[in-house]
Structure 1
Amino acid sequence: MKHIQQFRKKIWRGAVVLIIIVMITIPTIIITRAIVYNESKSDAYNDLSLLAPEVVIHYQEVRLDSWKDYVAVIQVWNMTDNDQSYKESIDPTTNHLVQQLDNGINFNNLDWSGLNIEAIKQAKYCRHLLDQYLFFTPGEYQFPLQEPSHYTDTFGADREGGQRKHEGTDIFNQKGTPIFSVCNGTLERIGWNRLGGERVGIRGQDGNYYYYAHLEKVNEALLVGNSISKGELIGTMGNTGDAITTPDHLHFGIELPNGKWINPYSWLKVWEFNSRLNR
């Protein structure tokens, strides 16, 4: 009987230790996976933002049914912009891939001869991103204005004497120009802040945060917590907040769920092109 009691104590102690280990390990795994997910998503959006919008627009215009295939193949050449000798060596191969696509060969059946493994991986990775993340997909998003506007890529430029960086794209037009939601989502923030002045923040259905700042007026029908549809009026353009000394413009920003702001310029160019087609 004594031996049985000792055996039970050992089993109980072992079970307690095992439970403690499991309780520590499972949250660690969950947190690790969450971090990896956010980092990989951040990298994916960053990689997509590096695609040349002119290339995307061209192939959406001339090859709408297979534009992703062409963009992924062209990306093999663009990714080596710091290695001119390698660019020259793969240029004929890239042209050969484009010719295969022109002849109706499926992307998965392309003859990749002449490219190294890393270049092939890059092309296939790019093609996967274009399927996984729909920022470039026609009809999924729209340009925030319905009128021709002026904007350049100033993401990362110094602000306040270098104390912070510009985390968006400034779209210029006249005061009072209507501004519309680029996507479906939920209204998360409305009203004044120091930098953005009158601003609206929308949590898109994709999980990203869409930031519209320096508004002259906010649509009075908008309420925090309510849904908003792509194309719904957000407000009108102004220069409120820290833009008081600058021409009227919309500061448009995109923040990922992990808190990282990404450059929206490439997507805006493509959205603008597709929005014009749909008018």
Structure 2
Amino acid sequence: MKLLHTEILVKQIKQEGIDYDAFRDLRINEKVIRKIDKKVKHIVKQHPRLKGYAYIDNIAYLTFSMLAKDYNPVAHGVSDVDTFLRGIGDVAGTESFQELYRYYKAIFSDLMFFPVPSKNSKEEDIEYWDTWYDLRKYGGNRRHEGTDLMAIENVRGILPVVSMTDGIVENMGWLEQGGYRIGIRSEAGGYFYYAHLDTYAPELKKGDKVIAGQLLGFMGDSGYGSEGTIGKFDVHLHLGIYVDSIMGEMSINPYYILKMLEDNRSGYLYE
């Protein structure tokens, strides 16, 4: 029965292709990541000859589980080891799997730090919610393609913003909607966008290499107008995550990634 189930699942994956809306919403948590890591280690331990084989890794297991579990392993669990081993050979040859594998690799390979360091105290300094695709009206109706981390103390230039990954400063400067922003291209190809900054880190410039945890600037309220416009909204960091897709740049919901990284907040002393 398990073999038949796997055959049906593989056939379904091949026929359906990619659900881009479900992929972009990125339903995942730390429990899922830990389970996948445990299962991949089990596979390599039980089948040492598979170590180093293409797609016998955490990203492949995540990709397979997303396709098999309606892009929501949080609700539906991750694929079991037997199903993965029986199905990966066939599924890995499909364009859908290979495309998604590239995207998940770009998103997850370089993540290290939460983008806003924490105070060296028990006071809460930020709050955020899942606002993916909420309506925004500046410049015409549009959907919110990111997560806003709101400063509880609504004062610009106080809270530092750090890079979540190693990478290169690909974009820096003013955007009408994003204000003073920085775009970091990670080594695996993900694009991490930090917007509405008040000021930049001293001497940081386009083309610089940065390391995870490095200061990029300070949270502000810039944007929604010509360069230098401030005060149109409360102080916050708009975080966006993007991958280069076959359809162009595609945004991903950062909320669940941020929840996963909360334990990876570096600390700063605020004076």
**Where does residue 183 of structure 1 map in the other structure?**
165
Q: Work out whether residues 115 and 265 of structure 2, in 8 Å CA contact, stay in contact via their aligned partners in 1.
A: no
CA positional deviation for 1:210: 2.1
**Where does residue 196 of structure 1 map in the other structure?**
178
1: CA distance, partners of 2:200 / 2:114: 18
Specify the code of the residue in structure 1 equivalent to 2:134.
Answer: A
2:235 aligned with 1:245: no
CA positional deviation for 1:80: 8.8
Answer 1 or 2: which has greater helix percent.
Answer: 1
Q: Which consecutive residues of structure 1, in runs of 5 or more, have no partner in the other structure?
A: 1-42, 82-86, 111-116
Q: Work out whether residues 155 and 263 of structure 1, in 8 Å CA contact, stay in contact via their aligned partners in 2.
A: yes
- Any residues of structure 2 matched to 1:116-131 within 5 Å, and which? 129=101
- Structure 2-normalised TM-score? 0.59
- Structure 1-normalised TM-score? 0.57
Deviations 1:71-127 (A, max 9, x none): 96587455599xxxxx9xxx8xx79x76xx6xxx684169xxxxxx99xx99x959x
Q: Work out whether residues 107 and 190 of structure 2, in 8 Å CA contact, stay in contact via their aligned partners in 1.
A: no
SS of equivalent to 2:239: strand
Greater RCO structure (CA 8 Å; 6+ sep): 2
Answer 1 or 2: which has greater strand percent.
Answer: 2
**Where does residue 12 of structure 1 map in the other structure?**
none
Q: 1:132 to 1:80 in 2, by over 3 A?
A: closer
2: CA distance, partners of 1:256 / 1:108: 28
SS of equivalent to 1:201: strand
Q: 1:80 to 1:65 in 2, by over 3 A?
A: closer
2:27 aligned with 1:52: yes
Q: State the superposition RMSD in angstroms.
A: 4.3
2:114 aligned with 1:143: yes
2: CA distance, partners of 1:222 / 1:108: 46
The structure that has the greater radius of gyration is 1
- Any residues of structure 2 matched to 1:36-185 within 5 Å, and which? 48-54=23-29, 57-60=30-33, 64-66=37-39, 76-78=68-70, 107-108=84-85, 129=101, 133=105, 135-136=107-108, 140-147=111-118, 149-160=126-137, 162-173=140-151, 174=153, 175=155, 176-185=158-167
The percentage of counterpart residues that share the same residue type is 28
